[in-house]
Chains A and B, each alone.
Chain A
Amino acid sequence: MLRKITVFAMLALSIALMYACSKSEDEVSQQETKLAFTVPSNFPTPAYNFEDNKLSNAGFALGKKLFYDARLSADKSVSCGSCHQQFAAFTQLDHKVSHGINNCQGKRNTPPLVNLAWQKAFFWDGGVKNIETSPLNAITDACEMGTDIQTIVTFLKATAPYPDMFKQAFGSTEINSQLILKSITQFTAMLVSANSKYDQVIRKENGVAFTASEQAGYTLFKEKCSSCHAEPFFTDFSYRSNGLDLLSADEGRSHITSVQTDFGKFRVPTLRNIEYTSPYMHDGRFYSLDEVLNHYDSGVKAAENLDASLKNGIPLNSTQKEQIKAFLKTLTDHEFIKNTLFSES
């Protein structure tokens, strides 16, 4: 009898051990599709590849929750999503400069969060060199979220459902700055916009074609704009002076490099979703695309380090301006702007 019990216990133990060995992957809800990062066929290899930050549904969900949680800021009024609004292609609609805690007006226009996985330097001056550490800049800026990562860690440890969400995402209720930043990156690196009309035309999808005006605009664009706003990101990620002022009020890139000739230079911004990312320029001085095109046509100032390609401006007649605008609007990715995967839930 005793032996029988022992045998039974041994077998039970074996079964228990088998369970302990197998990972409980089945626990992921069946109806939820597993998220994947896909490189669009007209895009190159990304700079960020999730190698050291395995993408998971739980990690993405946690990152999204953190992105939209205003309680992380000093006065609990500002989340990442406050200045990076999905309907504005993740910049801030109608704000010349970012609007931070205590109604503080920041120094620069909020950059759109799009196709960040291909970017190697972040912010208008390129000061931050890794997507994972980018949120720290906004978190600590006195005029943005005005807090520090230690305060956020303490808050999250004491606030449900965060410990559970960290456990689901990373296997432990441990919360630290690294896991916070990695989960936010699972959200931000997934913000891929590559399904505009332009993309569909380029990829020859579904018989989509430019109108005559869009096509004329595209031809003009390639001739006059794409040396800086290079496809497929519509930026070459370089830092240039585009002659907004004779002497810039903002030191720009030289703040990072300490190189005098970088004074007043800023990163060439992407033009994807430009229809929705107004106002424009590092200080948000232009509200419409007309103002932008008029600047290049006749408003370029002879700043000392003005980009060589703009020495004579970019002369455009009114028809050409309309054609370029028509083309720029083909860069709007409606699917991206409306994708509920990225929406605050």
Chain B
Amino acid sequence: MKLTTYLLALLCSALLLTSCKKDNNETTAETKSTFTIEFDNQVNGSTLALNTTTYKNAKGEDFKINVFKYYVSNIKLSKADGSSYLIPESYFLIDASKAESTNITLKDVPTGDYTKIEYTIGVDYARNFAGAQTGALDPINGMFWTWNSGYIFVKLEGTSPQSTAANNALTFHIGGVVDPNNTIRTFATEINAANPLRVRTDSKPKMHFIVNAAALFTGKTDVSFATLNFTMGGPNSVIVANNYTSGLFRLDHIHN
């Protein structure tokens, strides 16, 4: 009798413990792992140094950079067989002044060999008009326009002797999602099939991207700071976005 009472009490506790626990066994047989991306901010091949170093744009004009921030979102990986995986809720803000922000970690990615990566430079249309956001999209990060809803996708501020603005300022706040001034751009790059992104449970690969801040000012249209030194959305932002679409990011190598 004593034993049964004891067992009953034990069973009761055990039962309640299980009922409290959330069901974590819903994942399928598919294994998942992690990989990281490093964004190596540069200007025409040299490491970006904020506030101090003088760089030259494609027109040969000198400039310095004080602020360089950009969104990378909706990261999608594809395999050689054409199947793909969109990493849910993948919104990252890379800020050249915050070293920790230049390394991002992608978790719970199905294991496999990926031969293509693509992502949005900026933030998708819907999130620009969605309600109050948190994390990378928190307006606290200074990348949200309060008077005209939407995110600043790429922000570069600095100075140039050629700039006609007050204090020779350069102000490039690129954003806007409504045609004809839509600046949402997608970057995509193939990964060498001989060395694909190998996501494994026992190895967490690292992708290394070179990010060239000078790409805002060349590519399709060489920008002169004498004539374009300020934009916050609108047609001039489109010129800059068209420049950086293909030139801002370059996959340098992968450590598998």
Contacts and interface: CB of A to CB of B under 8 A. Distances in A.
A153 B146 contact: no
B194 interface: no
A139 interface: yes
Contacts of B6: 3, 6-7, 10
A127 interface: yes
Given A130-B131, A182-B131, A185-B131, A149 B139 contact: yes
Interface magnitude class on chain B: 20 to 34
A206 B193 CA distance: 77
A255 B233 CA distance: 11
A141 interface: yes
B20 interface: yes
Contact of B149 (A3, A53, A130, A153): A130
Contacts of A178: 132-134, 138
Interface in A1-53: 3, 6-7, 10-11, 13-14, 17-18, 20-21, 52-53
B16 A18 contact: yes
The SS class assigned to the A binding surface is helix
Contact of A136 (B2, B12, B19, B139): B139
B126 to A, nearest CB: 11
B16 A127 contact: no
A345 interface: no
B130 interface: yes
A114 to B, nearest CB: 20
A153 B147 contact: no
Interface string A108-147: 0000000000000001000111111100110111000000
Interface string B118-147: 000000000011111110001110001011
A310 interface: no
B201 to A, nearest CB: 33
Interface in B102-128: 128
A177 interface: yes
B129 A130 contact: yes
A128 B147 contact: yes
A140 B146 CA distance: 7
Interface of A: 3, 6-7, 10-11, 13-14, 17-18, 20-21, 52-53, 123, 127-133, 136-137, 139-141, 149-150, 153, 176-178, 180-182, 185, 255-258
Given A21-B19, A130-B130, A258-B233, 8 more contacts: A6-B6, A11-B9, A17-B17, A129-B150, A136-B139, A136-B146, A153-B140, A176-B140
26 contacts: A7-B6, A10-B6, A11-B9, A14-B12, A14-B16, A17-B13, A17-B16, A18-B16, A52-B131, A53-B131, A128-B147, A129-B128, A130-B129, A130-B131, A131-B131, A132-B132, A133-B132, A133-B139, A133-B144, A133-B149, A137-B146, A178-B133, A178-B138, A181-B131, A181-B132, A258-B233
